[in-house]
Structure 1
Amino acid sequence: MVEAHLVRASGIVTHRQRPETAKGTVFVTLEDDTGSINVNVWPAVAAAQRKSLLAARLLTVLGRWQREGAHLAAGKLIDHTELLGGLVSRSRDFR
């Protein structure tokens, strides 16, 4: 069995999706100067950290890789929006 290591990723939130078929999971896309990363936020994490999940424009995610690096499963969400200063950014949020 391969041990999953804790990973940290930060970036501008470009998309948030919560499809009805996902049973409460929220999918977030973060982007930085190296590219984008897909984050899965399971229902328990989404409920416990709702404010950071929905309000952050610059987000740091602590979690573990799923499916050999395809997606990051969120464990902790940290809103770093204040670090953007006057930069205007807005995510495309979908249901």
Structure 2
Amino acid sequence: MEPLLSPPDWPRAPVCLPHHLLHLPPEGARVAVAGLVLVRQRPGTAKGVIFVTLEDEFGVCNVVVWQKIYQRFRRAVIAGRLLRVTGRVQRQSGVTHVVAEEVEDISALLDDLVRLHEPTRAADQP
């Protein structure tokens, strides 16, 4: 049986700021974050804005996707299970958001993770 992989061996999104460190960059700084999509919200009163909540191993990140960016990255915003978002830090009423400039679907990394652990999963079967 192969040894279990430790977290550093997992596929990782390239050069992303962990969510628990989002308080460090100054307002307006350009950052990249990545995480599993927990929630997508498109309130009728938001004038086409989509709110996405991402989660990494350290916490959650609120992402604001304006209509123009949504049109450019529609497929990733709608279908992505794991996203990498590059954008600007915005703080409002004590809440930190990342205002998206680019959205990349990196869900393939999840598929890689499953493939890495298939021998382990097979060993769990009776």
Q: Normalising by the residue count of structure 2, what TM-score does the alignment of the two structures yield? A: 0.64
Equivalence for 1:53: 77
What is the match of residue 79 of structure 1?
105
2: CA distance, partners of 1:71 / 1:12: 16
SS at match of 2:60: strand
Which one has a bigger Cα radius of gyration? 2
The structure with more strand, counted as a fraction of residues: 1
User: What's the CA shift for 1:3?
Assistant: 6.9
Task: Answer 1 or 2: higher relative contact order, Cα 8 Å, separation at least 6.
Answer: 1
Structure with more of its chain in helix, by fraction: 2
What TM-score results when the alignment is normalised by the length of structure 1? 0.84
Kindly indicate whether residue 31 of structure 2 is the aligned counterpart of residue 7 of structure 1.
Answer: yes
Percent pairwise identity: 44
Aligned residue-pair number: 86
Q: Which runs of no fewer than 5 residues in structure 1 stay unpaired? A: 88-95
CA distance in 1, matches of 2:28, 2:40: 25
For 2:61 and 2:103, locate their aligned partners in 1 and report how far apart those are by CA, in whole Å.
Answer: 14
**What displacement does 1:39 show?**
0.2
Which aligned runs of 4 or more in structure 1 are off by greater than 3 angstroms? none
Unaligned runs of 5+ in 2: 1-25, 116-126
